[in-house]
Amino acid sequence: MEEEQEAEEQERFSSQQRLKAAVHYTVGCLCQEVAADKEMQFSKQTIAAISEITFRQCENFARDLELFARHAKRSTINTEDVKLLARRSNSLLKYITEKNEELAQLNQERKVKKKKKPEDGNQTCREPAEAEGGEAES
Amino acid sequence: MFIGWDSEAGLRGGRTETVVMERASAGFRKNHCFWCPWSCGWLALSPPSPQELVSRLLHLHFRDDRTKVSGDALQLMAELLRIFVVEAAVRGVRQAQAEDMALVDVDQLEKVLPQLLLDF
Rounded to two decimals, the ipTM of the complex is 0.78
CA atoms lying within 13 Å on the CB side of residue B61: 18
Contact B36 A17 (CB under 8 A): no
b (16+ CB within 10 A) / e for B62-75: beeeebbbbebbbb
Contact with chain A for residue B19, Cβ under 8 A: no
pLDDT at A68: 96
Judge contact between B80 and A96, C-beta under 8 A. Answer: yes
B contacts of A108 (beta carbons < 8 Å): none
End-to-end distance of chain A based on CA atoms, in angstroms? 74
pLDDT at A121: 53
Mutate to test the interface with A, among B33, B56, B57 (most CBs of A within 10 A): B57
Mutate to test the interface with B, among A27, A73, A85 (most CBs of B within 10 A): A27
Mean pLDDT, to the nearest integer, of B7-25?
A: 41
* Weakly modelled stretches of chain A, pLDDT under 70: 1, 12, 118-138
CA atoms lying within 13 Å on the CB side of residue B83: 19
Which residue in chain A has the smallest CA separation from B3? A17
Cα-based angle A36, A40, A44 (whole degrees, multiple of 5):
95
Contact with chain A for residue B42, Cβ under 8 A: yes
Q: Is the pLDDT of residue B22 over 50?
A: no
Residue type, position A73, single letter: K
- DSSP character at residue B49: P
Mean pLDDT, to the nearest integer, of B45-49?
A: 70
Distance CA A39, CA B33 (A): 20
Contacts by B5-9 with C-beta closer than 8 Å and gap 24+? Answer: B5/A17, B5/A20, B5/A21, B5/B38, B6/A17, B6/A20, B9/A13, B9/A17
Any idea which of A12-26, B21-35, B98-112 has the lowest mean pLDDT? B21-35
Contact A77 B67 (CB under 8 A): yes
Q: Is the pLDDT of residue B95 over 60?
A: yes
Residue B29, min C-alpha distance to chain A (Å): 16
Within 10 angstroms of residue A19's Cβ, the number of other Cβ atoms is 17
A contacts of B47 (beta carbons < 8 Å): 22, 25-26
Contact with chain B for residue A100, Cβ under 8 A: yes
pLDDT at B54: 94
Task: Indicate the residue of A38, A48, A69 with minimum beta-carbon distance to B93.
Answer: A38
Contact with chain A for residue B78, Cβ under 8 A: no
Any idea which of A3-17, A73-87, B11-25, B99-113 has the lowest mean pLDDT? B11-25
Cα-based angle A120, A123, A127 (whole degrees, multiple of 5):
145
pLDDT band per the 50, 70, 90 thresholds, residue B45: low
Q: Is the pLDDT of residue B92 over 60?
A: yes
